[in-house]
Structure 1
Amino acid sequence: MHAHVPLTVLLLAALLIRDGAAIWCYRCTSATPGCADNFNWRGIGFLGEQCPESNDICVKVTERRGAKETITRDCLSALSFRTDIPADKYEGCRPAAKDLRLAHYVNHTIKEHDVKRDYFTDTTFCFCFLDHRCNGASGLHMSALAGAAALLLPLLLLGTLQSH
């Protein structure tokens, strides 16, 4: 009877992890105080929001034109309207994809609408999903706590299974 206890605990933990798997991300723009490149979560006044989809990714988009810089921190699902999201969405930063056909058949003379999305000369997408609120870091990396948990969890589970 005692041999089934660790298995039951593992199954219960797996169910809880699956249900709470949606990642938490900061969701703000550089127009919000504290959300610029020198990020300060106390300045934006909240600890992030849970993303709407369970397999979502935190994203930090940096757009530059000369000295002007705009930073957007959000969930990837909230940015799905953008056509310049890189195909490779694994951890790390990469330049925006070029959509050569965007607004190809549009005769639009109001440049402020930026229908071709060519106002910014340099756009970079940084993706992260290994840690909650990871899009707050300027250089995205896995936290020390997550790394320690990843190393210790198998050892703890192995010790629990061998003791029974």
Structure 2
Amino acid sequence: MQAQTFMAVLLLAALINKGAAIWCYRCTSATPGCGETFNWRGIGFLGEQCPEPDDICVKVTERRGARETITRECLSALNFRTDIPADKYEGCRPAAQDVRLAHYVNHTIKEHDVKRDYFTDTTFCFCFLDHRCNAASGMQISAVLGLIAVASALLR
């Protein structure tokens, strides 16, 4: 009887959310473990809670030739970008083209990249159906299943 009560309390605690915000990995490919081969142990944390309650996890892959930059972030932190696709549902899509970007800027300092044309291929991958879903593709274990597995191992 006590084991069943313990399991019920543990399951209830796993299902109660402190907040409605999603947890996402927030790092760039300059961080060890945050490149194409993702290793959450390498970045040293299990992600962070996004600031907005209806946020979306995003993985942005920018390529120019052999050079690749990957950014894993919450969508609300990337609102300054004008190339975010309008369709933000699950899945990957190319960046939107902004013809007005740097329209009124006319200088010859090419290092400023005011037109954001350094990268030739930019892809946005959106996900919001699971916490920390902006990792590399692979199986994700939910927290509820993890807690149930730990509880069942402790009760044996």
TM-score of the pair, normalised by structure 2: 0.78
Matched AA of 2:137: S
Distance 1:49 1:58 in 2: 11
Provide the secondary structure at the position in 2 that maps to 1:125: strand
Q: Which residue of 1 aligns with 2:65?
A: 66
Stretches (4+) displaced over 4 A? 143-146
* Structure 1 residues 60-99: aligned runs within 5 Å: 60-99=59-98
Distance 2:34 2:137 in 1: 11
Change (3 A) 1:128 1:122: same
Percent sequence identity is: 85
Distance 2:32 2:25 in 1: 13
Q: Which residue of 1 aligns with 2:131?
A: 132
Aligned length: 131
Q: Which has the higher helix share?
A: 1
* Structure 1 residues 1-164: aligned runs within 5 Å: 16-17=16-17, 20-138=19-137, 143=140, 145=142
Distance 1:22 1:144 in 2: 18
Higher relative contact order at CA 8 Å, sep ≥6: structure 1 or structure 2?
2
| Unpaired segments ≥5 residues, structure 2 | 1-11, 146-156
Q: Are 2:130 and 2:142, in contact at CA under 8 Å, matched by a contact in 1?
A: no
TM-score of the pair, normalised by structure 1: 0.74
Matched AA of 2:131: H
1:140-162, Cα deviation, whole Å (9 max, x unpaired): x8x4759x9xxxxxxxxxxxxxx
Distance 1:27 1:113 in 2: 25
Distance 2:86 2:102 in 1: 20
Provide the secondary structure at the position in 1 that maps to 2:134: helix
Change (3 A) 1:26 1:144: closer
Provide the secondary structure at the position in 2 that maps to 1:136: coil
Matched AA of 2:32: P
1:108-152, Cα deviation, whole Å (9 max, x unpaired): 21111110000000000000000000001236x8x4759x9xxxx
Matched AA of 1:63: E
Q: Which residue of 2 aligns with 1:7?
A: none
Distance 1:92 1:108 in 2: 37
1:53-82, Cα deviation, whole Å (9 max, x unpaired): 000000000000000000000000000000
